[in-house]
Structure 1
Amino acid sequence: MDDDDGTRPDDRNLVFLRRLVTVLTATMIFGVLTIVVLLVIRLQTPPSPSLPDGLTLPEGVTAEAVTFGRGWIAVVTGDGRILILDRTTGAVLQDVPVSLPR
């Protein structure tokens, strides 16, 4: 029943199983460490600026994108305009029409 190299088939299967378990353990450790590092990086980033409570858009306008500046907020609307709003009061400072080729 012994092979030429002195090991039985069961011994070779156990060696393969040990190596497989070791590789899978190392992979899981690497994955858990990666998740922990990503969480630490994500939780250290400062929170995004908050919108003022009184921020209201004109009637029928939907926001597609928002950009924050020093003292102002730019809102890109669905009808092709950029509204520049005061950060503290929410009042419209500028209404810039945008015409893009379709």
Structure 2
Amino acid sequence: MLRWLRLLVTSLAVVMGVGIIAIVALLWLRLGERPLPELPPQIALPEGESAAAVTFARDWLVVVTDSGKVLLYDHQGKLREEVQP
């Protein structure tokens, strides 16, 4: 019984050590990444708006403004659609 308990405690300690190493490695990899890309210069937001979120897709670019508007642009910078909240 004592042997089983010692094996259980040792295996749990090893699993916990591997988990801590994995968490540290993930934090190191994620925090070492470059910051998110800036809004392209050809995109002109409406007056008084600022970008809260930007999503880059194959054919278009989606900008969510601080006021909650969703703006869809093509890659040339032309506004295609505006959705109000």
* 8 Å CA contact 2:54, 2:62 repeated in 1: yes
How high is the TM-score relative to the length of structure 2?
A: 0.53
Aligned residue-pair number: 71
* Structure 1 residue 83: Cα displacement: 2.3
* Structure 1 gap segments, 5+ residues each: 1-11, 86-92
Compute the RMSD of aligned alpha carbons. Answer: 3.7
Report the Cα distance in structure 2 between the residues aligned to 1:50 and 1:95, rounded to whole angstroms.
Answer: 17
Equivalent in the alignment of 1:8:
none
Q: Percent identity?
A: 39
> Conserved in 2, the CA contact under 8 Å of 1:75 and 1:84?
no
Q: Calculate the TM-score normalised by the size of structure 1.
A: 0.45
Letter in 1 for 2:45: T
User: What displacement does 1:50 show?
Assistant: 3.6
Aligned twin of 2:12: 24
Q: What is the distance in 2 between the residues matched to 1:82 and 1:35?
A: 37
The answer to whether the 8 Å contact 1:67/1:74 transfers is: yes
The structure number with the bigger radius of gyration is: 1
**8 Å Cα contact 1:83/1:94 also seen in 2:** yes
